[in-house]
Amino acid sequence: MRRTAASLALASALAATAVVLAPTTTSAATPPVKIYKVQYDSPGSDSGTNTSLNSEWVVIKNTTSTNRSLTGWTLRDRTGYTYKFPTFTLKAGATVTVRTGKGTATSTQRYYNRSWYVWNNTGDTAYLKDSKGYLKHSCSWSSVGTGSKYC
């Protein structure tokens, strides 16, 4: 009986030690495609010029070593202003910047083609969804602060 009690005590002590020494994970794994940075407050006054509108943007990053198709993916805010990617491939490790105003799309720059701002300076959320509508990443802010946020 003494051996059983001693064995039980030793097993309990080892289990407690294992719990204390077990590694903890506090952050989720980096998604393959993510919102990297949002410039939600265009520098200067909100004049509504195309230059000002294009100074409001979202950078999306491919964090992998594989090209990723973003065809049909969407980027939207809480209000529902949505940019939908046409046929588009984000190269491995590359970024694409989606600007609010008008411009000519390239492999690194895309445009909402809007005539007013998308991102609210006092708080908003950017949502990145795949072509099936599944949320892949989001980024939120609640005050003007520096006018931008790394996600």
> Which domains does the chain carry?
33-150 (2.60.40.1260)
pTM, rounded to two decimals:
0.81
Distances (CA, A) of 25 to 29, 32, 35, 150, 151: 9, 19, 21, 21, 18
Residue 77: pLDDT band with limits 50, 70, 90? very high
Distance, CA of 97 to CA of 58 (rounded, Å): 6
Predicted confidence (pLDDT) per residue in 124-144, tens digit: 999 999 999 999 999 999 986
User: Which is it for strands 109-111 and 95-99: parallel, antiparallel or unpaired?
Assistant: parallel
Do the Cβ atoms of 34 and 63 come closer than 8 Å?
A: yes
Predicted confidence (pLDDT) per residue in 12-67, tens digit: 544 444 444 444 444 578 899 999 999 999 999 899 999 999 999 999 999 999 99
Predicted confidence (pLDDT) per residue in 41-52, tens digit: 999 989 999 999
Distances (CA, A) of 86 to 15, 99, 103, 106, 111: 54, 15, 15, 12, 11
